[in-house]
Structure 1
Amino acid sequence: MQKTTQLGSDRAYDILRSEHQPLDAIFAPQSIAVIGASEHEGSVGRTVLWNLISHPFGGTVFPVNPKRHSVLGIKAYPNIAAVPEPVDLAIVITPAPTVPSVIGECVDAGVKGAIVISAGFNEAGDRGAELEQQLLQHLRRSKLRLIGPNCLGIRPEDEPLMIQFHQTLSEESVYFRYFHLIKLSQRVAHERLTRICFIDYDREMALIADYRNPQTEQHEILAVGRLSKLHGTNAAEFAMLVSDRFQCRGLGTQLLQQLLQVGRDEHLERICAEILSDNGAMQRVCEKLGFQIYRAQDASVVRAEIVL
Protein backbone atom coordinates (compact mmCIF):
# COMPACT_ATOMS: atom_id res chain seq x y z
CA MET A 1 0.00 0.00 0.00
CA GLN A 2 1.09 3.59 -0.32
CA LYS A 3 3.11 4.54 2.71
CA THR A 4 2.12 7.14 5.30
CA THR A 5 5.46 8.75 6.05
CA GLN A 6 6.10 10.08 9.56
CA LEU A 7 7.96 13.35 9.25
CA GLY A 8 9.79 15.63 11.66
CA SER A 9 10.25 19.36 11.74
CA ASP A 10 13.86 19.52 10.47
CA ARG A 11 14.05 22.50 8.10
CA ALA A 12 16.22 20.44 5.75
CA TYR A 13 13.18 18.47 4.64
CA ASP A 14 10.29 20.65 5.73
CA ILE A 15 8.82 21.95 2.46
CA LEU A 16 6.84 24.73 4.07
CA ARG A 17 9.51 25.98 6.49
CA SER A 18 12.32 26.53 4.05
CA GLU A 19 13.50 30.07 3.37
CA HIS A 20 11.60 30.07 0.08
CA GLN A 21 7.93 29.94 1.08
CA PRO A 22 5.76 31.12 -1.83
CA LEU A 23 2.63 29.57 -0.33
CA ASP A 24 2.96 31.14 3.12
CA ALA A 25 0.62 33.92 2.03
CA ILE A 26 -2.09 31.28 1.59
CA PHE A 27 -1.40 28.89 4.45
CA ALA A 28 0.09 31.27 7.04
CA PRO A 29 -1.25 34.74 6.22
CA GLN A 30 -0.87 37.68 8.59
CA SER A 31 -3.68 39.63 6.95
CA ILE A 32 -6.76 38.49 5.03
CA ALA A 33 -9.20 40.46 2.90
CA VAL A 34 -12.61 38.85 2.42
CA ILE A 35 -13.81 40.29 -0.89
CA GLY A 36 -17.53 39.76 -1.02
CA ALA A 37 -18.01 39.74 2.76
CA SER A 38 -21.69 39.81 3.61
CA GLU A 39 -24.12 39.87 6.53
CA HIS A 40 -26.70 37.85 4.60
CA GLU A 41 -27.55 34.79 6.71
CA GLY A 42 -26.43 31.54 5.07
CA SER A 43 -24.22 33.20 2.45
CA VAL A 44 -20.67 32.04 1.83
CA GLY A 45 -19.43 35.61 2.31
CA ARG A 46 -20.87 35.72 5.82
CA THR A 47 -19.74 32.19 6.72
CA VAL A 48 -16.13 32.79 5.67
CA LEU A 49 -15.91 36.09 7.54
CA TRP A 50 -17.56 34.67 10.64
CA ASN A 51 -15.21 31.65 10.68
CA LEU A 52 -12.19 33.94 10.49
CA ILE A 53 -13.25 36.24 13.31
CA SER A 54 -14.61 33.49 15.56
CA HIS A 55 -11.47 31.34 15.18
CA PRO A 56 -8.61 33.90 15.34
CA PHE A 57 -5.56 33.02 13.24
CA GLY A 58 -3.28 35.68 14.71
CA GLY A 59 -3.72 38.26 11.98
CA THR A 60 -6.07 40.97 10.76
CA VAL A 61 -9.27 40.53 8.72
CA PHE A 62 -10.51 43.20 6.31
CA PRO A 63 -14.06 42.84 4.92
CA VAL A 64 -14.38 44.26 1.40
CA ASN A 65 -17.87 45.26 0.26
CA PRO A 66 -18.56 48.43 -1.76
CA LYS A 67 -22.16 48.62 -0.50
CA ARG A 68 -21.52 48.50 3.25
CA HIS A 69 -19.57 50.59 5.76
CA SER A 70 -19.21 47.60 8.07
CA VAL A 71 -19.83 43.84 8.02
CA LEU A 72 -20.49 41.89 11.24
CA GLY A 73 -19.35 44.94 13.17
CA ILE A 74 -16.00 45.27 11.38
CA LYS A 75 -15.13 48.30 9.24
CA ALA A 76 -15.53 47.41 5.54
CA TYR A 77 -13.69 48.82 2.54
CA PRO A 78 -15.04 49.47 -0.95
CA ASN A 79 -12.19 47.67 -2.72
CA ILE A 80 -8.82 46.06 -2.05
CA ALA A 81 -6.95 49.27 -2.90
CA ALA A 82 -8.71 51.03 0.00
CA VAL A 83 -7.45 48.55 2.60
CA PRO A 84 -4.94 50.53 4.73
CA GLU A 85 -2.43 47.69 5.25
CA PRO A 86 -0.65 45.18 2.98
CA VAL A 87 -2.78 42.09 2.38
CA ASP A 88 -1.26 38.60 2.30
CA LEU A 89 -4.37 36.67 1.26
CA ALA A 90 -7.55 37.69 -0.54
CA ILE A 91 -10.54 35.36 -0.33
CA VAL A 92 -12.80 36.16 -3.30
CA ILE A 93 -16.53 35.43 -3.06
CA THR A 94 -18.02 37.65 -5.76
CA PRO A 95 -20.01 36.76 -8.92
CA ALA A 96 -17.86 35.11 -11.60
CA PRO A 97 -18.01 38.03 -14.11
CA THR A 98 -16.43 40.32 -11.50
CA VAL A 99 -13.61 38.00 -10.44
CA PRO A 100 -11.04 38.80 -13.19
CA SER A 101 -11.18 42.51 -12.41
CA VAL A 102 -11.05 41.79 -8.66
CA ILE A 103 -7.92 39.67 -9.14
CA GLY A 104 -6.47 42.43 -11.34
CA GLU A 105 -7.01 44.88 -8.47
CA CYS A 106 -5.35 42.41 -6.09
CA VAL A 107 -2.33 42.19 -8.38
CA ASP A 108 -2.10 45.99 -8.54
CA ALA A 109 -2.37 46.21 -4.75
CA GLY A 110 0.46 43.73 -4.22
CA VAL A 111 -1.64 40.96 -2.68
CA LYS A 112 0.49 37.81 -2.42
CA GLY A 113 -2.13 35.05 -2.52
CA ALA A 114 -5.78 34.51 -3.37
CA ILE A 115 -8.44 31.85 -2.96
CA VAL A 116 -11.31 32.19 -5.42
CA ILE A 117 -14.36 30.42 -4.04
CA SER A 118 -16.67 31.76 -6.76
CA ALA A 119 -17.96 29.26 -9.32
CA GLY A 120 -18.98 29.81 -12.95
CA PHE A 121 -15.73 29.41 -14.88
CA ASN A 122 -14.44 26.58 -17.06
CA GLU A 123 -17.10 24.24 -15.68
CA ALA A 124 -19.85 26.62 -16.90
CA GLY A 125 -19.20 26.55 -20.65
CA ASP A 126 -17.66 28.96 -23.15
CA ARG A 127 -18.45 32.16 -21.22
CA GLY A 128 -16.94 30.72 -18.06
CA ALA A 129 -13.86 29.55 -19.96
CA GLU A 130 -13.42 33.08 -21.31
CA LEU A 131 -13.56 34.48 -17.76
CA GLU A 132 -10.93 31.97 -16.67
CA GLN A 133 -8.62 33.11 -19.46
CA GLN A 134 -9.06 36.72 -18.32
CA LEU A 135 -8.13 35.57 -14.83
CA LEU A 136 -4.99 33.90 -16.14
CA GLN A 137 -3.92 37.05 -17.94
CA HIS A 138 -3.75 38.91 -14.63
CA LEU A 139 -1.85 36.07 -12.96
CA ARG A 140 0.74 35.95 -15.74
CA ARG A 141 1.73 39.56 -15.10
CA SER A 142 2.26 38.97 -11.39
CA LYS A 143 3.65 36.68 -8.71
CA LEU A 144 0.30 36.28 -7.02
CA ARG A 145 -0.46 32.65 -6.08
CA LEU A 146 -4.05 31.58 -6.61
CA ILE A 147 -6.11 28.58 -5.56
CA GLY A 148 -9.30 28.19 -7.54
CA PRO A 149 -11.62 29.25 -8.99
CA ASN A 150 -14.54 27.24 -7.59
CA CYS A 151 -12.42 26.13 -4.67
CA LEU A 152 -13.00 25.54 -0.97
CA GLY A 153 -10.20 23.10 -0.05
CA ILE A 154 -10.20 20.36 2.59
CA ARG A 155 -11.41 21.54 5.99
CA PRO A 156 -12.52 19.68 9.13
CA GLU A 157 -16.13 20.50 8.28
CA ASP A 158 -15.64 18.58 5.01
CA GLU A 159 -15.93 15.26 6.85
CA PRO A 160 -19.55 14.65 5.71
CA LEU A 161 -18.49 15.37 2.11
CA MET A 162 -15.62 12.89 2.45
CA ILE A 163 -18.10 10.24 3.59
CA GLN A 164 -20.23 10.88 0.50
CA PHE A 165 -17.10 10.76 -1.65
CA HIS A 166 -16.08 7.34 -0.34
CA GLN A 167 -19.58 6.05 -0.98
CA THR A 168 -19.01 6.68 -4.72
CA LEU A 169 -15.92 4.44 -4.90
CA SER A 170 -15.91 0.91 -6.29
CA GLU A 171 -13.89 -1.91 -4.76
CA GLU A 172 -11.44 -1.62 -7.66
CA SER A 173 -10.83 2.08 -6.96
CA VAL A 174 -10.29 1.36 -3.28
CA TYR A 175 -7.91 -1.50 -4.08
CA PHE A 176 -5.90 0.58 -6.57
CA ARG A 177 -5.51 3.39 -4.02
CA TYR A 178 -4.80 1.45 -0.82
CA PHE A 179 -3.36 -1.79 -2.32
CA HIS A 180 -5.94 -3.82 -0.43
CA LEU A 181 -9.67 -3.67 0.19
CA ILE A 182 -10.89 -1.55 3.08
CA LYS A 183 -14.51 -1.66 4.17
CA LEU A 184 -16.51 1.54 3.75
CA SER A 185 -17.22 1.62 7.49
CA GLN A 186 -13.46 1.68 8.15
CA ARG A 187 -12.74 4.31 5.49
CA VAL A 188 -15.36 6.72 6.85
CA ALA A 189 -14.69 6.15 10.55
CA HIS A 190 -14.57 9.49 12.36
CA GLU A 191 -11.08 8.93 13.76
CA ARG A 192 -9.68 8.23 10.31
CA LEU A 193 -11.43 11.12 8.57
CA THR A 194 -10.28 13.47 11.32
CA ARG A 195 -6.67 12.62 10.46
CA ILE A 196 -7.37 13.14 6.75
CA CYS A 197 -9.26 16.43 7.06
CA PHE A 198 -6.86 18.03 9.55
CA ILE A 199 -3.89 18.59 7.24
CA ASP A 200 -0.48 19.31 8.77
CA TYR A 201 0.81 21.76 6.18
CA ASP A 202 4.30 21.51 7.66
CA ARG A 203 4.50 18.01 6.21
CA GLU A 204 1.94 17.57 3.48
CA MET A 205 -0.49 19.22 1.09
CA ALA A 206 -3.96 18.09 0.08
CA LEU A 207 -6.07 19.33 -2.82
CA ILE A 208 -9.63 18.44 -3.71
CA ALA A 209 -11.82 18.81 -6.77
CA ASP A 210 -15.09 20.26 -5.51
CA TYR A 211 -18.32 20.62 -7.50
CA ARG A 212 -21.19 22.90 -6.51
CA ASN A 213 -24.56 22.01 -7.98
CA PRO A 214 -25.92 25.31 -9.41
CA GLN A 215 -29.52 24.29 -8.67
CA THR A 216 -29.15 23.01 -5.11
CA GLU A 217 -25.88 24.82 -4.23
CA GLN A 218 -24.81 21.57 -2.56
CA HIS A 219 -21.11 20.66 -2.76
CA GLU A 220 -19.63 17.31 -3.76
CA ILE A 221 -16.02 16.13 -3.63
CA LEU A 222 -15.02 14.53 -6.94
CA ALA A 223 -11.34 13.78 -6.29
CA VAL A 224 -8.64 14.09 -3.65
CA GLY A 225 -4.89 14.44 -4.15
CA ARG A 226 -2.17 14.49 -1.51
CA LEU A 227 1.54 15.34 -1.51
CA SER A 228 3.58 14.07 1.47
CA LYS A 229 7.18 15.02 2.16
CA LEU A 230 9.58 12.06 2.40
CA HIS A 231 11.69 12.06 5.54
CA GLY A 232 15.25 13.25 5.13
CA THR A 233 14.95 14.12 1.44
CA ASN A 234 13.91 16.96 -0.82
CA ALA A 235 11.27 14.73 -2.40
CA ALA A 236 7.60 13.94 -1.87
CA GLU A 237 5.19 11.11 -2.57
CA PHE A 238 1.80 11.72 -4.15
CA ALA A 239 -1.47 9.82 -3.80
CA MET A 240 -4.77 10.37 -5.60
CA LEU A 241 -8.31 9.09 -5.57
CA VAL A 242 -11.01 10.01 -8.12
CA SER A 243 -14.72 9.20 -7.85
CA ASP A 244 -15.68 6.40 -10.21
CA ARG A 245 -18.17 8.62 -12.07
CA PHE A 246 -15.41 11.06 -13.01
CA GLN A 247 -12.60 8.70 -13.90
CA CYS A 248 -11.18 8.78 -17.46
CA ARG A 249 -12.35 12.39 -17.95
CA GLY A 250 -9.05 14.15 -17.35
CA LEU A 251 -9.78 15.13 -13.76
CA GLY A 252 -6.97 13.02 -12.33
CA THR A 253 -4.54 14.53 -14.82
CA GLN A 254 -5.49 18.08 -13.80
CA LEU A 255 -5.22 17.27 -10.10
CA LEU A 256 -1.79 15.70 -10.52
CA GLN A 257 -0.67 18.72 -12.55
CA GLN A 258 -1.63 20.94 -9.60
CA LEU A 259 0.33 18.73 -7.18
CA LEU A 260 3.36 18.93 -9.47
CA GLN A 261 3.09 22.71 -9.53
CA VAL A 262 3.05 22.76 -5.72
CA GLY A 263 6.22 20.66 -5.79
CA ARG A 264 7.89 23.09 -8.19
CA ASP A 265 6.81 26.08 -6.13
CA GLU A 266 8.40 24.47 -3.08
CA HIS A 267 11.57 23.62 -5.02
CA LEU A 268 11.28 19.88 -4.53
CA GLU A 269 13.77 17.78 -6.47
CA ARG A 270 11.41 14.96 -7.37
CA ILE A 271 7.95 13.49 -6.80
CA CYS A 272 7.22 9.78 -6.78
CA ALA A 273 4.52 7.19 -6.11
CA GLU A 274 4.09 3.44 -5.91
CA ILE A 275 1.35 2.18 -8.23
CA LEU A 276 -0.13 -1.28 -8.64
CA SER A 277 0.99 -2.92 -11.89
CA ASP A 278 -2.66 -3.54 -12.75
CA ASN A 279 -3.49 0.17 -12.48
CA GLY A 280 -2.72 1.01 -16.10
CA ALA A 281 -4.83 4.18 -16.11
CA MET A 282 -2.77 5.80 -13.34
CA GLN A 283 0.45 4.80 -15.05
CA ARG A 284 -0.70 6.39 -18.30
CA VAL A 285 -1.57 9.64 -16.50
CA CYS A 286 1.90 9.69 -14.95
CA GLU A 287 3.64 9.03 -18.27
CA LYS A 288 1.58 11.76 -19.92
CA LEU A 289 2.88 14.27 -17.37
CA GLY A 290 6.53 13.20 -17.70
CA PHE A 291 6.97 10.56 -15.02
CA GLN A 292 9.30 7.64 -15.60
CA ILE A 293 7.88 4.23 -14.72
CA TYR A 294 10.25 1.74 -13.08
CA ARG A 295 9.63 -1.92 -12.37
CA ALA A 296 10.07 -2.90 -8.74
CA GLN A 297 11.33 -6.17 -7.29
CA ASP A 298 7.74 -6.86 -6.34
CA ALA A 299 6.14 -7.57 -9.71
CA SER A 300 2.76 -6.35 -8.45
CA VAL A 301 4.05 -2.77 -8.04
CA VAL A 302 5.70 -0.15 -10.23
CA ARG A 303 7.35 3.09 -9.18
CA ALA A 304 6.56 6.39 -10.89
CA GLU A 305 9.07 9.21 -10.51
CA ILE A 306 9.57 12.65 -12.02
CA VAL A 307 12.52 14.98 -11.56
CA LEU A 308 11.39 18.58 -11.14
Structure 2
Amino acid sequence: MAAAAAPATARFRLILGGRLSYGNAISAPSPLWGEGSGVRGTVGVAGFAPRALELKDGTKVHVRPIEPSDEPLLHEAVAAMSERTVYFRFFTPLKRMPDALAHRLAVVDYHDRFAIVATMNRPNGKERIVGVARYDRASGTNVAETAVAVVDEFQRRGLGSALLAILAKVARQEGIKTFSLIVLPENQQMLGLLRKMGWIHQARLAGGVYEISFDLPAEVDS
Protein backbone atom coordinates (compact mmCIF):
# COMPACT_ATOMS: atom_id res chain seq x y z
CA MET A 1 0.00 0.00 0.00
CA ALA A 2 1.31 3.42 -0.89
CA ALA A 3 2.00 5.84 1.89
CA ALA A 4 -0.50 8.62 2.35
CA ALA A 5 0.53 11.90 0.81
CA ALA A 6 1.56 14.63 3.20
CA PRO A 7 -0.80 17.61 3.44
CA ALA A 8 0.02 20.38 0.99
CA THR A 9 0.33 22.80 3.91
CA ALA A 10 2.73 20.64 5.89
CA ARG A 11 5.82 22.48 7.06
CA PHE A 12 8.92 21.32 8.81
CA ARG A 13 12.07 22.95 10.02
CA LEU A 14 15.35 21.13 10.19
CA ILE A 15 17.99 22.63 12.43
CA LEU A 16 21.33 21.04 11.79
CA GLY A 17 23.94 23.02 13.65
CA GLY A 18 27.42 23.64 12.46
CA ARG A 19 29.36 25.74 10.07
CA LEU A 20 28.97 24.96 6.40
CA SER A 21 31.95 22.82 5.49
CA TYR A 22 33.06 20.30 2.93
CA GLY A 23 33.90 17.92 5.75
CA ASN A 24 35.45 14.84 4.18
CA ALA A 25 34.03 15.49 0.74
CA ILE A 26 37.09 16.99 -0.86
CA SER A 27 40.52 18.33 -0.16
CA ALA A 28 41.28 22.00 0.34
CA PRO A 29 41.21 24.10 -2.83
CA SER A 30 44.46 24.56 -4.66
CA PRO A 31 45.89 27.97 -5.62
CA LEU A 32 44.99 29.64 -8.90
CA TRP A 33 45.79 27.86 -12.11
CA GLY A 34 49.37 28.31 -13.17
CA GLU A 35 50.33 29.35 -16.63
CA GLY A 36 50.01 26.60 -19.17
CA SER A 37 47.48 24.65 -17.11
CA GLY A 38 45.24 24.26 -20.15
CA VAL A 39 42.15 24.96 -18.06
CA ARG A 40 39.76 27.73 -19.00
CA GLY A 41 38.19 30.06 -16.50
CA THR A 42 38.13 33.75 -15.65
CA VAL A 43 40.09 34.43 -12.47
CA GLY A 44 38.40 36.81 -10.07
CA VAL A 45 34.89 36.67 -11.53
CA ALA A 46 32.47 37.46 -8.69
CA GLY A 47 35.40 37.09 -6.32
CA PHE A 48 35.86 33.48 -7.37
CA ALA A 49 39.05 31.99 -8.73
CA PRO A 50 39.14 28.73 -10.69
CA ARG A 51 40.49 25.90 -8.59
CA ALA A 52 41.18 22.19 -8.42
CA LEU A 53 39.17 19.85 -6.20
CA GLU A 54 39.87 16.30 -5.14
CA LEU A 55 36.76 14.22 -4.52
CA LYS A 56 36.30 11.56 -1.87
CA ASP A 57 37.58 8.81 -4.15
CA GLY A 58 40.65 10.77 -5.21
CA THR A 59 39.24 11.93 -8.54
CA LYS A 60 40.38 15.44 -9.42
CA VAL A 61 38.12 17.96 -11.11
CA HIS A 62 38.47 21.61 -12.03
CA VAL A 63 35.93 24.21 -10.91
CA ARG A 64 35.50 27.50 -12.73
CA PRO A 65 32.81 30.05 -13.59
CA ILE A 66 30.59 29.10 -16.47
CA GLU A 67 31.25 30.78 -19.83
CA PRO A 68 28.96 31.45 -22.83
CA SER A 69 31.13 29.09 -24.88
CA ASP A 70 30.07 26.25 -22.55
CA GLU A 71 26.76 25.76 -24.37
CA PRO A 72 27.98 22.68 -26.29
CA LEU A 73 29.46 21.22 -23.10
CA LEU A 74 26.14 21.69 -21.30
CA HIS A 75 24.40 19.79 -24.09
CA GLU A 76 26.93 16.97 -23.70
CA ALA A 77 26.56 16.92 -19.91
CA VAL A 78 22.77 16.62 -20.04
CA ALA A 79 23.05 13.92 -22.72
CA ALA A 80 25.34 11.97 -20.37
CA MET A 81 22.82 12.10 -17.50
CA SER A 82 20.27 9.40 -16.81
CA GLU A 83 16.60 10.14 -17.39
CA ARG A 84 16.14 10.20 -13.62
CA THR A 85 18.87 12.79 -13.05
CA VAL A 86 17.54 14.97 -15.87
CA TYR A 87 14.02 14.76 -14.46
CA PHE A 88 15.18 15.68 -10.96
CA ARG A 89 16.95 18.76 -12.36
CA PHE A 90 14.45 20.01 -14.94
CA PHE A 91 11.20 18.39 -13.73
CA THR A 92 10.50 17.14 -17.22
CA PRO A 93 11.99 14.45 -19.45
CA LEU A 94 14.46 15.88 -21.95
CA LYS A 95 15.96 13.80 -24.72
CA ARG A 96 17.92 16.87 -25.71
CA MET A 97 18.16 20.19 -23.92
CA PRO A 98 16.65 22.98 -26.06
CA ASP A 99 19.22 25.38 -27.47
CA ALA A 100 17.45 28.35 -25.89
CA LEU A 101 17.70 26.75 -22.46
CA ALA A 102 21.37 25.88 -22.92
CA HIS A 103 22.03 29.48 -23.93
CA ARG A 104 20.25 30.89 -20.90
CA LEU A 105 22.12 28.56 -18.56
CA ALA A 106 25.50 29.38 -20.08
CA VAL A 107 25.10 33.16 -20.26
CA VAL A 108 25.12 34.80 -16.81
CA ASP A 109 25.99 38.26 -15.46
CA TYR A 110 28.28 36.94 -12.68
CA HIS A 111 26.37 38.94 -10.08
CA ASP A 112 22.62 38.31 -9.96
CA ARG A 113 23.00 35.20 -12.08
CA PHE A 114 26.05 33.04 -11.54
CA ALA A 115 27.08 29.46 -12.19
CA ILE A 116 30.12 27.28 -11.69
CA VAL A 117 31.02 24.12 -13.53
CA ALA A 118 33.15 21.15 -12.55
CA THR A 119 35.14 19.85 -15.49
CA MET A 120 37.54 17.10 -16.45
CA ASN A 121 39.61 16.50 -19.54
CA ARG A 122 38.83 13.52 -21.74
CA PRO A 123 41.69 11.27 -22.92
CA ASN A 124 41.79 13.36 -26.11
CA GLY A 125 42.26 16.51 -24.04
CA LYS A 126 38.76 17.86 -24.69
CA GLU A 127 37.08 19.37 -21.65
CA ARG A 128 33.78 17.95 -20.37
CA ILE A 129 31.39 19.26 -17.74
CA VAL A 130 30.55 16.78 -14.97
CA GLY A 131 28.71 19.07 -12.55
CA VAL A 132 26.98 22.46 -12.46
CA ALA A 133 25.73 24.68 -9.64
CA ARG A 134 23.99 27.99 -10.16
CA TYR A 135 21.96 30.71 -8.54
CA ASP A 136 19.49 33.28 -9.88
CA ARG A 137 18.70 36.19 -7.60
CA ALA A 138 15.08 37.34 -7.32
CA SER A 139 15.03 40.94 -8.55
CA GLY A 140 15.70 43.50 -5.84
CA THR A 141 16.11 40.92 -3.06
CA ASN A 142 18.82 39.04 -1.18
CA VAL A 143 17.19 35.70 -2.07
CA ALA A 144 18.32 33.50 -4.94
CA GLU A 145 17.01 30.28 -6.42
CA THR A 146 19.70 27.62 -6.65
CA ALA A 147 20.14 24.33 -8.48
CA VAL A 148 22.80 21.64 -8.64
CA ALA A 149 23.24 18.83 -11.15
CA VAL A 150 25.96 16.18 -11.33
CA VAL A 151 26.50 13.63 -14.10
CA ASP A 152 25.56 10.19 -12.74
CA GLU A 153 29.03 8.64 -12.81
CA PHE A 154 30.28 11.46 -10.54
CA GLN A 155 27.46 11.31 -8.01
CA ARG A 156 28.03 10.19 -4.40
CA ARG A 157 31.61 11.43 -4.47
CA GLY A 158 31.01 14.71 -2.65
CA LEU A 159 30.91 16.84 -5.79
CA GLY A 160 27.38 18.18 -5.32
CA SER A 161 28.03 19.39 -1.78
CA ALA A 162 31.37 20.89 -2.82
CA LEU A 163 29.80 22.87 -5.66
CA LEU A 164 26.98 24.08 -3.44
CA ALA A 165 29.43 25.25 -0.78
CA ILE A 166 31.53 27.16 -3.30
CA LEU A 167 28.40 28.70 -4.80
CA ALA A 168 27.19 29.77 -1.36
CA LYS A 169 30.43 31.61 -0.66
CA VAL A 170 30.19 33.53 -3.94
CA ALA A 171 26.53 34.32 -3.21
CA ARG A 172 27.38 35.73 0.22
CA GLN A 173 30.00 37.96 -1.36
CA GLU A 174 27.33 39.20 -3.75
CA GLY A 175 24.93 40.09 -0.92
CA ILE A 176 22.70 37.03 -1.14
CA LYS A 177 21.59 35.71 2.23
CA THR A 178 19.08 32.99 1.37
CA PHE A 179 18.95 30.18 -1.18
CA SER A 180 15.66 28.65 -2.30
CA LEU A 181 15.07 25.57 -4.39
CA ILE A 182 12.39 23.09 -5.39
CA VAL A 183 13.03 19.39 -4.81
CA LEU A 184 10.89 16.39 -5.72
CA PRO A 185 10.09 14.20 -2.68
CA GLU A 186 11.64 11.17 -4.39
CA ASN A 187 14.93 13.02 -4.82
CA GLN A 188 16.24 11.68 -1.52
CA GLN A 189 19.83 12.20 -2.61
CA MET A 190 19.37 15.97 -2.80
CA LEU A 191 17.38 16.11 0.42
CA GLY A 192 20.09 14.10 2.13
CA LEU A 193 22.78 16.40 0.75
CA LEU A 194 21.09 19.43 2.29
CA ARG A 195 20.90 17.72 5.67
CA LYS A 196 24.55 16.69 5.53
CA MET A 197 25.64 20.20 4.58
CA GLY A 198 24.71 21.35 8.08
CA TRP A 199 22.45 24.20 7.01
CA ILE A 200 19.31 25.43 8.71
CA HIS A 201 16.52 25.15 6.20
CA GLN A 202 12.76 25.32 5.93
CA ALA A 203 10.58 23.36 3.57
CA ARG A 204 6.95 23.40 2.53
CA LEU A 205 5.31 20.54 0.72
CA ALA A 206 3.06 22.06 -1.92
CA GLY A 207 1.78 20.68 -5.19
CA GLY A 208 3.79 17.50 -4.80
CA VAL A 209 7.18 19.20 -4.42
CA TYR A 210 9.23 20.55 -1.53
CA GLU A 211 9.79 24.29 -1.63
CA ILE A 212 12.94 24.66 0.42
CA SER A 213 14.74 27.75 1.64
CA PHE A 214 17.78 28.09 3.84
CA ASP A 215 19.87 30.94 5.16
CA LEU A 216 23.49 30.94 4.05
CA PRO A 217 26.03 30.89 6.88
CA ALA A 218 27.99 34.09 7.41
CA GLU A 219 31.15 32.05 6.96
CA VAL A 220 31.40 29.35 4.34
CA ASP A 221 34.39 27.05 4.05
CA SER A 222 35.49 26.77 0.44
Q: Distance in 1 between matches of 2:48 and 2:100?
A: 31
Which of 157, 174, 185 is 2:86 aligned to? 174
Sort the Cα spacing of 1:218 and 1:174 in 2 relative to 1 into closer, same or farther, 3 A.
Answer: same
* Counterpart residue type for residue 277 of structure 1: P
**Does residue 165 in structure 1 map to residue 77 in structure 2?**
yes
**Does residue 287 in structure 1 map to residue 195 in structure 2?**
yes
- Identity value in percent: 29
Runs of 4+ in 1 over 4 A off after TM superposition: none
Q: Distance in 2 between matches of 1:153 and 1:115?
A: 8
More helix by share: 1
What RMSD, in angstroms, separates the aligned Cα atoms of the two structures? 3.4
Q: Distance in 2 between matches of 1:155 and 1:203?
A: 15
**Does residue 210 in structure 1 map to residue 119 in structure 2?**
yes
Aligned to 2:110: 201
* Counterpart residue type for residue 157 of structure 1: S
Alpha-carbon distance, 1:251 to partner: 0.9
Quick check: which has more Rg, 1 or 2? 1
Aligned to 1:17: none
TM-score, with length taken from structure 2: 0.68
* Counterpart residue type for residue 54 of structure 2: N
Q: Which has the higher contact order (CA 8 A, sep 6+)?
A: 2
Alpha-carbon distance, 1:191 to partner: 3.0
Paired residues, number: 183
Alpha-carbon distance, 1:297 to partner: 3.1
Gaps of 5+ in 2: 1-32, 217-222
Q: Distance in 1 between matches of 2:184 and 2:194?
A: 13
More strand by share: 2
Alpha-carbon distance, 1:276 to partner: 0.9
Aligned to 1:7: none
Aligned to 1:122: 54
Aligned to 2:179: 271
CA contact (8 A) 1:161 1:221 kept: yes
Alpha-carbon distance, 1:182 to partner: 2.6
Sort the Cα spacing of 1:151 and 1:249 in 2 relative to 1 into closer, same or farther, 3 A.
Answer: closer
Alpha-carbon distance, 1:283 to partner: 0.8
Q: Distance in 1 between matches of 2:50 and 2:91?
A: 35
Sort the Cα spacing of 1:238 and 1:116 in 2 relative to 1 into closer, same or farther, 3 A.
Answer: closer
